[in-house]
Amino acid sequence: MWLPRNRGSEPDMRLPRHGGAELEMRLPHRPMHVIFDMDGVLLDTELIYTEVTQDIVGRWGKTYDWSIKSHMVGRPSIESARYLVKTLELPITPEQYLEEREVVFQTRMPEAKPMPGAVDLVRALSEQGVPMAVATSSHRDMFDLKTRRHQDWFSLFDRIILGDDPRVERGKPAPDIFLLAAAELGAEPATCVVFEDAPAGVDAALAAGMLVVGLPDPGLDAGLLAHAHHVTQSLEQISPSAIGPIERR
């Protein structure tokens, strides 16, 4: 089990106003590099996952809600599928669930829209020259489906690390994918801030020794992300000027 690090006593960092909101983040230092999870952080795919899965499990009178989903988000797909099948006692195998889901995803996932504030924040950080990476549990085929209509702003990322990268030996909540992303950016883990919406992702980033901002889905108990350094409802509330080298005037 990957346990979050004890943050201890850390100074508050007051962030500038952005989008009419003044933010405070308890960070021990200013982050120089950014790593984003994708689903639920950059792209609004979680409703698609929920609707498709409910259609499948509903055939046996089962309900797929956040009491189940909170244990699945952010983890490798086969691990999540095993949890779903076991918990809901479905009369199918995890592999069968994934196969059926994949067929529907072919038409649904290209519909995914950007999360509020995602495009603006990514573009602003790119203009500031802040190195950025995506670290997602999605495999290549699913990543391509989800980003089909978003290649313009996804091209702004310096590195994209996927869940089927052979260098990622263990999925979240292990820190492997975030450590690889940092290495690809040429960054020390402590200089990175991770934006995550899943408890497993927050655990993984903390285990990697990184700063973490939690972005809970409205349906998720925000307390499950309370061990992140900062929790906010939207990327719209993040000031890009709080990340990267301080501009000298």
Q: Domain spans of the chain? A: 12-44+113-242, 46-111
Q: What is the mean pLDDT of residues 120-132?
A: 97
In this prediction, residue 75 carries a pLDDT of 84
Question: Is the pLDDT reported for residue 148 higher than 70?
Answer: yes
Specify the DSSP class assigned to residue 18: B
What positions carry a catalytic annotation? 37, 39
Q: What is the pTM of this model?
A: 0.84
Note the helical H segments in the chain: 46-57, 66-69, 77-88, 94-108, 118-128, 140-146, 151-154, 176-185, 199-207
> Tell me: the pLDDT tens digits for 9-56?
333 333 333 343 435 556 678 999 999 999 999 999 989 999 999 999
CATH fit for domain 46-111, picks 1.20.1290.10, 1.10.150.240, 3.30.70.20, 1.20.1250.20: 1.10.150.240
In this prediction, residue 6 carries a pLDDT of 37
Two domains, one topology: 12-44+113-242 and 46-111 = no
Contact 146, 43 (CB under 8 A): yes
Which phi and psi (to 5°) does residue 113 adopt?
-105, 160
In this prediction, residue 82 carries a pLDDT of 96
Question: Is the pLDDT reported for residue 234 higher than 80?
Answer: yes
CATH top class, domain 12-44+113-242: alpha beta
In this prediction, residue 25 carries a pLDDT of 54
Question: Is the pLDDT reported for residue 214 higher than 90?
Answer: yes
Question: Is the pLDDT reported for residue 1 higher than 80?
Answer: no
Q: How far apart are CA 75 and CA 225, in angstroms?
A: 15
